[in-house]
Amino acid sequence: MKKNIYNILKGTFLVSDDSFRSWRFILFVSGLAIVMIASSHSADKKVYKIARLKNEVKEMRSAFVDGRSRLMKLKMESHVIGVMKERGLSPSVIPPKKIKVKKQN
């Protein structure tokens, strides 16, 4: 056991006769580490993108609510009457009448 630890520390296991097996294992572990790091970076990018999109959704929702409230204010009868008074128009005092058209044969 002591000899194995010395071999690992000195690096003789990399140049010995059956070092091909050791090199294969080292390359395999290195490849797995690279794949793991790439996967981690990809996941981080997705997390940041999701956070950015959530902020955009919040901004768009607040802009929509603001626009809808302004539209409701503009559609109110009192606002329309005020705008029309500026143009010189006023609401009619005479109520509307229904017009009935009879068919002619």
The predicted-structure confidence for 42-69, as pLDDT tens digits, reads as follows 999 999 999 999 999 999 999 999 999 9
Residue 95 lies in a domain: no
Into how many domains does the chain fold?
1
Q: How far apart are CA 13 and CA 16, in angstroms?
A: 5
Domain region containing 47: 2-86
Residue 33 lies in a domain: yes
Q: How far apart are CA 68 and CA 57, in angstroms?
A: 16
Confidence (pTM): 0.56
Residue 91 lies in a domain: no
Residue 13 lies in a domain: yes
Per the model's pLDDT, the better-predicted residue between 50 and 16 turns out to be: 50
